[in-house]
Amino acid sequence: MALSTESMIDPSGPLVSSLVKEHLQHVILYLADGIQLCAAVLIGLAAAFKRPVKVINDAAMQALGNYKHGKMLFLGLGTGLGSVMIVDGIVVPMKLAHLPYKKATYEDYVGVRGLKKKHGKKRWRRHVVDVVERLIAALEPDDVVLGGGNVNNLKELPPGCRASDNTKAFIGGFRLWANADGGRRPVNKARPS
């Protein structure tokens, strides 16, 4: 099951505000993309569908679908910049998009704003290469995957990267459910012989 950001509860809206103000016994989950969701909503969905519910952001799901081994960095070039590391099978969502870069943030340069409004395709491509090189140098991944809807706007991939498409998110979803502990267990654990 996928939940889009449009269907989430507005964190500044009256429902969340009143829950917090009234000190009700609800747990607020902070999802990797910064959206707040009441645990009660997840419980309600599970009850409505009579099935367990897991929530994971789109970048993490696509990263899971692309993971092979070791330390993988996934960067989703879409509306913004999705970022996930998977280290020895453990999914680690990150917020690299909001780190400072030049006069703004990484997301402002390699997200859709940089592509369509601020810089144009040619300069956007140069910024993508620069950002990817910086993140590779800082994080030292074994594997780098670029995905998201705007990866197709690259004429060629930055050195050391491979491309993905959004269909890998389906594989990620299957892998998430294959791990009974919610995706925190390594996804490619070797079977004993």
Q: State pLDDT tens for residues 5-42.
A: 333 344 444 443 443 433 333 334 444 444 445 566 66
Measure the CA–CA gap between 130 and 92, rounded to whole angstroms: 23
DSSP letters, 100-166, are EETTEEHHHHHSHIIIIIISHHHHHHHHHHHHHHHHHHHH--SEEEEESTTGGG-SSPPTTEEE--T
Which secondary-structure segment (H or E) carries 92? Answer: strand 90-94
Q: Global pTM?
A: 0.73
Buried (b) or exposed (e) across 114-126, using 16+ Cβ within 10 A? Answer: bbeeebeeeebbe
> Tokens at residue 172, please?
């990620």
- Per-residue pLDDT reduced to its tens digit, 75-106: 999 999 999 999 999 999 899 999 999 999 99
Q: Does residue 174 carry a pLDDT above 80? A: yes
